[in-house]
Structures are given as structure tokens and as C-alpha cells.
Amino acid sequence: MKTQNSRNGTALSAALLFLSSMALQADIVTVNSSPFSLGYGFISPGVWSTNETSGANTPTTQGDFQFLPTVSSPLLTGNGPTFPSRVLSNGNSSSYSTYVDDAPAGLFTASVTANWNGTLPTNFIPGTATLQLTLTGIKIWASGLNDPGFFRFDETTVGHTSSSPSMTPGGAAGTGSPSPANFTNAAVWVQMAWDPADYSVSGVTQTRTFSATVGDDLTNPASYIYTALDGYEVLGNVTLTYEIVPEPSALLLLSLSGGILMLRRRLR
């Protein structure tokens, strides 16, 4: 009888351990932001701004999420298009445009930082929070100055470098006859667009960085490739994921209490 009681006790103990593990199994919580969408025009030397685009942009803070882009590049010429409400339109001799080239002088850089600024619940399991900044598109209008060549976006985030396919900019001047005055004509610009691969990181903040590369298509070789830029856009959303210790359900609590009572009776 003692042996039988011992076996029963072992079986009940195993059952209680199983029920306990079910009661303590972590739940995964996923919180998604609303879509973010922001555009910037190059409005003066060295300045990308939302002055022209604010009416067509989402807020940079939505609920507990933030979506904070930056963009930087040098002045090319006073001639350029305009970007009202994120629609590329004809400009004039004081509309300005920026550029990227195949030398270090013309450097285009951009970044996006996503933050979650909420408060995690008291039953949050430390170390389980991850954030994913999903970019559904980075876009910019481009026009070649001396040779259209090619253009591509590059993600420069440490550990997550990648590049877009090569794309062909518009041609402002026509090969061999550079004339920046033509940059005021929106028709000579072509939009470059890329949907980069996404990934998550530990914690509640993530920053992704980008640059651009241009090169000669070798059809009409030029000593330098200057590609004018304007009308930058970045679109995406943010997802926070974390684990919590759930509150035990009433059924599990009842099962545990009943099992403990049976175990005590069996072992008497």
C-alpha cells in the first residue's frame, strides 16, 4: 500500500508540476503604432524642412510611439523644384536643390529613430522587450546633372547593411550639356524608391541609418557624377513586443487546489 501511495503521489506531483507550468507560461504582448509618413523639401542651403509638406505629414508622435527622421546633404544650386504637400512641382531660381556625387563632397545621409515611451506593466518579464522599425518606403526625387548614371540607397546601420537595386535618375540637362537651370522643371526628375528589409532589436528604441551612392553608367563617362536631389519621404510603422507573466486562470487555480488536496489525502 505504501508503494502504491508513493506511485500515486509521484503521478499527482507530476500533474501538479504540469499545471503549475501552464499557469506560469509567459504571454506575448504585441503593440503596433499607427502608420507614420513624413516628407521633406530642400528649401535653403543645407536645410531640409517640412515647411512645404507639414499638411501632408503624420505627427512624429502617435500615442506612446515616436518616429523621428533626419536628413542631411549639401547645397547644389539655387535652381530646383518645389515640394508642396509632397507633390514635386516646378520651381524657380530660388527654390534650391541638393545633391549627391561619387566624391566625398556630395554626401547624402538620413536616419530614422523609433521610440516607445510607454510604461511596461508590473508583470513584464525583464529582457523580453523588442522593437521593430518597419520601413515601408524611403523615397527621393533625383535628376542627373552631367550623366544620369545610376542611383541607389544604402542602409548603413551597423550589423544590418544592405543596398537597393540600382535606379536611373531623370536627366536635367541632357548628357554633355550641364545646365542647373533645368532643375526647376519637375518633369526632368524621377522618384527613387526602396522598401528595405526590416528587423527587430532588443529594447524600446531603434535607429536605422542610410546614405546614397551614384555612379557612371559608362555610356558617356564623366569625371564626376552629380545627381541633384529633392523631395525626400520616409514611411513606416513601429511594433513593440514583450512577454508578461499571466495571472493564473480560475480553472487552473481550482485544479491546483484540488490536486494538492488529493495529494495530501493519498499520502496519509
> Beta-carbon neighbour count of residue 153 at 10 Å?
23
| pLDDT tens readout for residues 39-90 | 999 999 889 999 999 999 999 999 999 999 999 999 988 999 999 999 999 9
- Choose between 253 and 31: higher pLDDT: 31
91 contacts 82 by C-beta, under 8 angstroms: yes
pLDDT interval class at 177 (50, 70, 90): very low
* DSSP sequence for 106-141: S--EEEEEEEE-S---TTB-TT--EEEEEEEEEEEE
Break the chain into its structural domains and give their ranges: 1-25+246-268, 27-245
122 contacts 163 by C-beta, under 8 angstroms: no
* DSSP sequence for 12-34: HHHHHHHHHHHHHPPEEEEEEPP
